[in-house]
Amino acid sequence: MKHLLSFILICASSPFVAALDLQNTVQKQLEHPVLQGAVWGGLATYTDSPQQPLFSINADMRLTPASTLKLLTTAAALELLGPHHRFETKLYSSALPNKKGELNGNIYIRGGADPTLGSTRVPGAETYETVLQKWVESIQKMGIKKINGSIIADESLFEGPSIPSKVNWGNIGNYFAAPASPLCFNDNLFTIQFQPQTQGNKLVQVSSISPSIDNLTLKSFVTTDSKTKQDNAYVYGAPKLYDLQIFGTIPTSKKGFTIKGALPDPALFAAQELTKKLKKNGISITQKPYTIAEQPNYKSMKLLHTYTSPELKDIIIIVNKRSFNLYAEMLLRYLAVKEGKKGSVENGLAALSHFLKSNKIASSENTILFDGSGLSRDNLLTPQTLVNTLSFMAKSPYFEDYYNSMATPDDRGDLLLLRRFLKPQQKVQQVRVKGGTIDNVKALAGYVYDKNGRLIAFAFMANNLGKKDESLFRIHEDIIKELLESK
């Protein structure tokens, strides 16, 4: 009897009881009407003792992760490439110019899978106009005054569809589903400017696009909505399709309204822009630019210029904090390139699966994936897989870069809604989160430091939500509050 009493007293003061209390607290939160008819799975555990969860509800259920999937993609990229990895885009001349400055051959732009080429999203990257100018100067430095040939964009590093197969038709054509290419340019997007319209329910036409795109036609079926400030207009198109249509609504505006579309062919666009830039600088080109899918013999060519990207650790900040799909898809394909294979979606997913399995993060049964960004509704993984990934990275030499790639309540990204309760309590730096939202799905995963400074990894995943309701954010906030108070 004495031994039994001692056992009860130990249990009453043990972490087991605290975990049981948290389990009950979370269960009560899930009784909220917003989750009626929905499925919710969640898990939280200390990263130094992952086998003892603080709470676990449907942790092994396969659910759609939305953009929390990016946590897997960026973890694999950091581990396999290293935080200081840089991508290279190279410019070649197929021959040397003659005494007259004529190049009897072609200029090749060799795509190196740099997602940031011609973008200023990442510190250290440069605008596409600056990139073009550097290319022009390198050609001028060779004494080339005329090109009896073409500007050729080499896309041989990748193969297969440039958009994952399960991405919704309504997303294709928009910047957030832009096609991946080993020769990205200007984030593979362009801006569409609509004419001003202050009255609701009126058809509104496109006034301009930037940058201009050869042979592109846009037809607008967009109307104005005076009751909202949200953009609900979608571009309908597909890779290499230049006849685009836009449907949906935009807010009324005195100054006009802008949305972003996906470049139909980013590599060709880069070659076309370089052609135009050269002509403006007095270098004539006799043939039209085009793209190739087979790598030429670069050993016989002259390297003119190498453009180097920012470091990977800075790129994944954009992937996770800004949830930028294109960069995630580019990194997924490059995982295959790292293994010596073509950068296809399938090869990238195989490389990611191998990373997860070899590090005992997840089995293939628990990671049924179709992309690297989470854009597909058909992606499935478990809360356990997310927490395993976070716990694995907590022990990585690259943990600081991974941790800092996620949002805090001070960011304009995933955790903006959490600022209300975290910032007044001076707990901004104690939380890092990656959010995910697609149709009928909201997910959240990341890290929390408890009262004693111990690190907790957590994942919350809600699927089959019946309506858009911010009540779910409040539920997730309340659970995070409980984790912050753990000890």
Q: How much helix, strand and coil, in percent to the nearest 5, is found in the chain? A: 35, 25, 40
> Does 3.40.630.30 match the CATH number of domain 87-310?
no
E runs forming strands in 279-394: 284-285, 290-292, 302-308, 367-368, 380-381
Phi-psi region of 391 (alpha: psi -120 to 50; beta: other; left: phi over 0): alpha
Q: What is the pLDDT of residue 13?
A: 45
pLDDT in tens, 117-158: 999 999 999 999 999 999 999 999 999 999 999 999 999 999
Q: What is the pLDDT of residue 15?
A: 53
pLDDT in tens, 303-346: 999 999 999 999 999 999 999 999 999 999 999 999 999 999 99
For 14, other C-beta atoms within 10 Å of its C-beta total: 11
Among 426, 444, 487, 440, residue whose Cα is nearest residue 468: 440
Model confidence at 414: pLDDT above 70: no
Element (H, E) at 484: helix 471-484
Q: For the residues 411-431, what does the mean pLDDT come to?
A: 64
Among 407, 411, 399, residue whose Cα is nearest residue 83: 399
- Confidence class of residue 179 from pLDDT cuts 50, 70 and 90? very high
Q: What is the pLDDT of residue 322?
A: 92
Among 247, 235, 240, 249, residue whose Cα is nearest residue 172: 235
Of the chain, the percentage scoring pLDDT greater than 90 comes to 85
pLDDT in tens, 259-275: 999 999 999 999 999 99
Among 311, 305, 380, 387, residue whose Cα is nearest residue 349: 380
Model confidence at 41: pLDDT above 50: yes
Model confidence at 99: pLDDT above 60: yes
Helix (H, G, I), strand (E, B) or coil at 44: strand
pTM for the model stands at 0.94
Q: Where are the domains of the chain?
A: 14-83+314-484, 87-310
Q: How far apart are CA 122 and CA 311, in angstroms?
A: 9
Of the chain, the percentage scoring pLDDT greater than 70 comes to 92
pLDDT in tens, 273-283: 999 999 999 99
Model confidence at 422: pLDDT above 90: no
For 412, other C-beta atoms within 10 Å of its C-beta total: 9
- Work out the mean pLDDT of the chain and round it to a whole number: 93
Q: How many residues does the chain have?
A: 487
Q: What is the pLDDT of residue 418?
A: 62
Q: Phi, psi (5° rounding) for residue 125?
A: -80, 165
E runs forming strands in 283-393: 284-285, 290-292, 302-308, 367-368, 380-381
pLDDT in tens, 60-92: 999 999 999 999 999 999 999 999 999 999 999
Structure tokens belonging to residue 479? 């659970």
Homologous superfamily (CATH) of 14-83+314-484 is DD-peptidase/beta-lactamase superfamily (3.40.710.10)
Among 184-193, 229-238, 360-369, 421-430, the range scoring the smallest mean pLDDT is 421-430
Q: For the residues 227-251, what does the mean pLDDT come to?
A: 95
Amino acid at 390: L
Q: How far apart are CA 434 and CA 447, in angstroms?
A: 9
Q: How far apart are CA 438 and CA 65, in angstroms?
A: 9
Model confidence at 379: pLDDT above 50: yes
229-258 b/e (C-beta count within 10 Å ≥ 16 → b): eeeebbbbbebeeeebebebbbbbbeeebb
E runs forming strands in 252-334: 258-262, 284-285, 290-292, 302-308
